[in-house]
Amino acid sequence: MDKLVVLDFGSQYSHLICRRIREANVYCELLPYNTPAKVIKEIDPKGIIFSGGPASVYAQNAPKPDKEIFKMGKPLLGICYGHQVLVDSFGGRVKRTNSREYGRAVLIIEGEGEEDTPDLFKGLGPGIMNCWMSHADAAEILPEGFKVLARTENSFSAAIGNPDKKFYGIQFHPEVVHTEKGSQILKNFAQTISGAKPEWDMKSFIESTINDIRKQVGKEKVLAAVSGGIDSTTIAALMHRAIGDQLSCVFINHGLLRQDEEKDVVRLLKDHLGINVIYVNAEKQFLGKLKGVSDPEEKRKIIGEEFANVFAAVVKKKKKDEEKDADSFQWLAQGTLYPDVIESGVSQGPAAVIKTHHNVGGLPKWLNLKVIEPLRYLYKDEVRKAAKLLGVPDELLKRHPFPGPGLAVRIIGEVTPEKIRICKHASKIVEDELKATAAFVPTSSASVASAAAAAAAAATDNVGWHDKVWQAYAAVGDDRAVGVLGDERVYGHIVIIRIVESMDAMTADWSRLPYELIEKISNRITNEVEGVTWVTYAVSSKPPATIEPQ
């Protein structure tokens, strides 16, 4: 299968380049910027992309690719910093500019008609479009053999190219949605310039991954944790499709689940997917270990280790029950996704650790299980597509993402029975009200029209707010506020409502729910959830915030 590789120089958008290429049905991998040329030759990509990055190419110790890459005869596309790497590598000059460009800019493409339009910009229509810039450096002198393909008001070389070598550089970011027809530009590079065949899609991914699983696992047994979330459900369905009864799934009730989670998940996995699930109630074990712990990283590590302890106990029990050797399980299947890897600092480029993810941190070596992660390079929206093809029922498919550490990351500070009760009940109210938006009637007659319009927008094609948003839940911490219930003064908890919209969990925006819907959610929580006096609504996007509070 034809593929492209992206060399990651540390841009926050590197992962988006891969996603856009994949959307053009060409498989794409992200590699470190310093990947040796001989390694890239073994991968044999049709084309290579240099990502953006925070460095200046003229700075001391600036990240540079292996020079042998330029001799491989592969088409190259440099984006932002990658554009400057091309200029610098072939004798041009890059310098700090007085006219920095951040945000929207008007790109003027050279050529008077479609026949004169550079290959990179074919099929884009008129020669003027909006693009997204993010740079303080710019090319001052172009290398020999390169010519200007497009410009902006502040950048005479916003796009350059050497058609003979098939080397192209663009100062703007085609991978972000703010650049008009940016996906078409990347598609032109992938398919037209690089000649990659559009052979990659979810169906082919599932087929190839099943074959890879069978080769990797052989006749050995696999243990997988299932939580009811889309990630673990998809990994279970995929592994079951590949190896059948060699897979054993474990559902652990750690006491930090959504309301009635343990009943619903086990039923759906058994009845709809035919997967045998081992149910383990370890609530006391987890909550006992978490007692007195407030630090979010420590909570995540404790939960990760306790998961391993439970897995080890399951292995021992299977050995005793079936009188098999201690190595009855050789593999642990995990639903690690690409955003998990990025946020845990295990990205291909120089990324910072945001937080340890439960699937990539905290797994002790003494568990003695080999890890298999078939979804490691998929984004969340791609996982949903795979799940649908694997026959995952809508009841599971449309569930909102739920973190492996469960309510522990939605409870700020120490995990206590009172906070768990509040978090479960309030989150259930949030989900129920979002699901009922089609029947929602605003309480304020003055705003009936605006609320109805918002509800109608959310309910297009019978899609309510629950299915429109990415994630919705209630969080609670130690902060308290005074309230009045009846004629009595009450000092109760503050509940935080968090509802976001996203495509892949790498970025997210807070949802603009109708005020009347927020009001109804708030009223229900303060009236029905004992110990709550205030409800707040989180309006922070990602970045700078994260989707989960801890």
pLDDT in tens, 37-71: 999 999 999 999 999 988 888 888 899 999 999 99
> How much is the pLDDT for 211?
94
Question: Strand 247-253's sheet: what is its strand order?
Answer: 277-281, 247-253, 222-225, 331-333, 370-372
Tokens encoding 380: 């969340």
Token pair 């049905």 is found at: 25
Tokens encoding 527: 């009236």
> Chain centroid to CA 116: how far?
39
pLDDT in tens, 144-192: 999 999 998 878 889 999 999 999 999 999 998 889 999 999 999 999 9
pLDDT in tens, 415-464: 999 999 999 999 999 999 999 985 544 433 333 344 444 444 444 445 78
- Contacts for 131 with CB less than 8 Å, ≥ 6 apart: 104, 105, 106, 107, 152, 158, 172, 173, 174, 178, 179, 180, 182
- DSSP code, position 190: I
Lowest mean pLDDT among 152-156, 217-221, 242-246, 348-352: 348-352
Tokens encoding 524: 């229900």
Other C-beta atoms lying within 10 Å of the C-beta of residue 51? 30
Fill in the amino acid letter for 373: E
Is there a contact between 302 and 289 (Cβ–Cβ < 8 Å)? Answer: yes
Catalytic residues: 80, 173, 175
Return contacts of 416-420, CB within 8 angstroms, 24+ apart: 417/287, 418/493, 418/531, 419/476, 419/493, 420/255, 420/256
Helices (H), 218-253: 230-243
Would you place residue 3 in the very low, low, confident or very high pLDDT band (cuts 50, 70, 90)?
very high
| pLDDT higher than 80, residue 133 | yes
Is there a contact between 235 and 333 (Cβ–Cβ < 8 Å)? Answer: yes
Tokens encoding 19: 């996603």
> How much is the pLDDT for 114?
63
Nearest one of 191, 505, 245 to 375, comparing CA atoms: 505
Of the chain, the percentage scoring pLDDT greater than 90 comes to: 53
Of the chain, the percentage scoring pLDDT greater than 70 comes to: 86
Report the relative pairing of strands 93-109 and 128-141 from DSSP bridges.
Answer: antiparallel
Between CA 383 and CA 336 the distance in angstroms is 11
Is the pTM of the predicted complex or chain greater than 0.75?
no
* DSSP β-bridge partners for residue 3: 27
Nearest one of 515, 502, 503, 518 to 434, comparing CA atoms: 518
Nearest one of 466, 522, 470 to 494, comparing CA atoms: 522
- Contacts for 267 with CB less than 8 Å, ≥ 6 apart: none
Helices (H), 333-490: 338-343, 380-389, 394-397, 417-435, 448-458, 465-468
pLDDT in tens, 227-272: 878 888 999 999 999 999 899 888 989 999 999 888 888 888 888 8
- Neighbour-count burial for 233-270, b at 16+ CB within 10 Å, e otherwise: bbbbbbbbbbbeebbbbbbbbbbbbbbebbebbbebbe
Which domains are present in the chain? 3-193 (3.40.50.880), 202-407 (3.40.50.620), 410-537 (3.30.300.10)
482 or 270, which is more confident? 482
